[in-house]
Amino acid sequence: MVSFSVQQESSAGAARTGVLRTAHGDIDTPVFMPVGSLGTVKGLDPEEVRQCGYGLILANAYHLYLRPGHHVIAELGGLHTFMQWSGALLTDSGGFQMVSLADLCEVTEDGVVFKSHLDGSLHQLTPERAMEIQAALGSDIMMVLDHCPPFPCSESQARDSVARTTRWAKRCLDAPRRSHQAVFGIVQGSVFPDVRRESAEALAALGFDGYAIGGLSLGETKDTMWEIVSLVISVLPKTAPRYLMGVGLPEDLVEGVWRGIDMFDCVMPTRHGRTGWLFTTTGRILIKHMQYARDERPVDPACACPVCRRFSRAYLRHLFLTNEMLGVRLNTLHNLWYYATLMAEIRAAIRAQRLEAFRAEFYAARQTSEPVTAVGS
């Protein structure tokens, strides 16, 4: 069974460090999880992900159910064995796909009826089915099937989705699972404070192993997102891990931790690695720009990753513009290393009671003005 303990609380903000103990290793929090929806962090060998400093990654039960199928994975020893990942796994149930693939889904009280985005075949995903799939995969942390409303939505729609999410959450909690598997509830409610509070209170009363905040980073302002996050955290049990789903940019990690978030996931570092956006201590750079054509410097002189130790910006630009596979791999490796390093520095700052100073230094160092758009998972 997964357990969580708070190790130290920061003297500034609501930040804290903790340890998430799983059957596949202990995870220091706050932690960022790379996204491996299809059983792979795109472009990288699992050992490379480990070398970046990660012990917990996210996979998606919805996608793995469609192919190769959870029964196939179970027959082959479970997802850890199938993908040769020795660390911990969190599996998302597929609730977010109700938003991203809304034109293929119909939500009923019993669950979700959807057409496969692969071949148009018809499927039904109930709370019990979502847990059955995740149990077969053998993940360490299972997410409930939730109903994430679209953004924007009316308060009435938000209340309906919260009521359904709570009913589904109870059914997920009652479903069979393996002894080592934990279940996290997901707080919904869009941007309506009262609805968010009601959702958090209802889920807390059910007694989950951890709690996620879903349905954010969908188009609301950052100020609104952080107001909702702070509100929800004030309601959730202090003894359980808090997980902000699908967020985000490096500055989102800093701000989320400041407000008390313990866990994050996002496609940002991997997806932007594939599109040439590279994260550095001074901001973000788009490697295809002409200014890097003869740039002999590493992506980030302050970075100790294998990419920055060996390759120049000029070479990475060449690989990207010629569509060489190595370019995507190196970009992804650097971005994931940057994210892992950032989280390690945040944890160290909390332990040293200097998070406020770290936060100020983080923003002071960011000089690059090239914009990038936040992307949910």
Does a structural domain hold residue 370? Answer: no
Q: What is the DSSP string of 62-100?
A: HHHHHTT-HHHHHHTT-HHHHHT--SEEEEE-STTHHHH
Does a structural domain hold residue 371? Answer: no
Same domain for 287 and 211: no
Query: CA 230 to CA 281: how far, in whole Å?
Result: 27
Q: E strands, the chain, where?
A: 3-9, 16-22, 25-29, 31-34, 56-60, 88-92, 105-107, 112-115, 122-125, 141-143, 182-187, 210-213, 242-244, 263-266, 277-280, 283-286
Which 3 state secondary structure label does DSSP give 315? Answer: helix
Q: Tell which of 223, 239, 272 closes a domain.
A: 272
Would you state the pLDDT for residue 375?
A: 37
Angle in degrees, CA 15, 16, 20, rounded to 5:
135
Is the separation of the CB atoms in 346 and 358 below 8 Å? yes
Would you state the pLDDT for residue 1?
A: 81
Q: Which residues does the annotation mark as catalytic?
A: 92, 265
Same domain for 186 and 283: no
Same domain for 343 and 208: no
Same domain for 241 and 165: yes
Same domain for 238 and 161: yes
Same domain for 311 and 247: no
Does a structural domain hold residue 358? Answer: yes
From the list 143, 53, 33, 31, the residue with the least C-alpha distance to 97 is 143
**H-helix or E-strand containing 333?**
helix 325-351
Phi/psi for 282 (5° steps) reads -105, 5
Would you state the pLDDT for residue 178?
A: 97
pLDDT in tens, the chain (377 residues): 899 999 999 998 999 999 999 999 999 999 999 999 999 999 999 999 999 999 999 999 999 999 999 999 999 999 999 999 999 999 999 877 765 676 788 899 999 998 888 999 999 999 999 999 999 999 999 999 999 999 999 999 999 999 999 999 999 999 999 999 999 999 999 999 999 999 999 999 999 999 999 999 999 999 999 999 999 999 999 999 999 999 999 999 999 999 999 999 999 999 999 999 999 999 999 999 999 999 999 999 999 999 999 999 999 999 999 999 999 999 999 999 999 999 999 999 999 999 999 999 999 999 654 444 433 33
Domain encompassing residue 326: 273-365
Query: CA 56 to CA 140: how far, in whole Å?
Result: 9
Would you state the pLDDT for residue 105?
A: 86
Same domain for 324 and 196: no
Would you state the pLDDT for residue 370?
A: 47
End-to-end Cα, the chain, rounded Å: 26
Would you state the pLDDT for residue 376?
A: 36
Same domain for 255 and 282: no
Does a structural domain hold residue 312? Answer: yes
> How many of the other CB atoms lie within 10 Å of CB of 122?
9
Does a structural domain hold residue 373? Answer: no
Same domain for 300 and 173: no
Q: Tell which of 251, 272, 293 closes a domain.
A: 272
Sequence-ordered list of residues with C-beta below 8 angstroms from that of 25, at least 6 positions apart, any chain: 55, 86, 87, 88
- Identity (one letter) of the amino acid at 290? M
Is the separation of the CB atoms in 233 and 115 below 8 Å? no
Would you state the pLDDT for residue 99?
A: 58
Same domain for 359 and 212: no
Same domain for 361 and 234: no
Query: CA 112 to CA 65: how far, in whole Å?
Result: 14
Q: Tell which of 272, 295, 329 closes a domain.
A: 272
- Identity (one letter) of the amino acid at 8? Q
Does a structural domain hold residue 377? Answer: no
For residue 359, CA distances in Å to 55, 348, 355 come to: 25, 12, 6
Query: CA 124 to CA 105: how far, in whole Å?
Result: 9
CATH number for the domain including 51? 3.20.20.105
Same domain for 314 and 259: no
Query: CA 125 to CA 133: how far, in whole Å?
Result: 10
Q: How many domains does the chain have?
A: 2
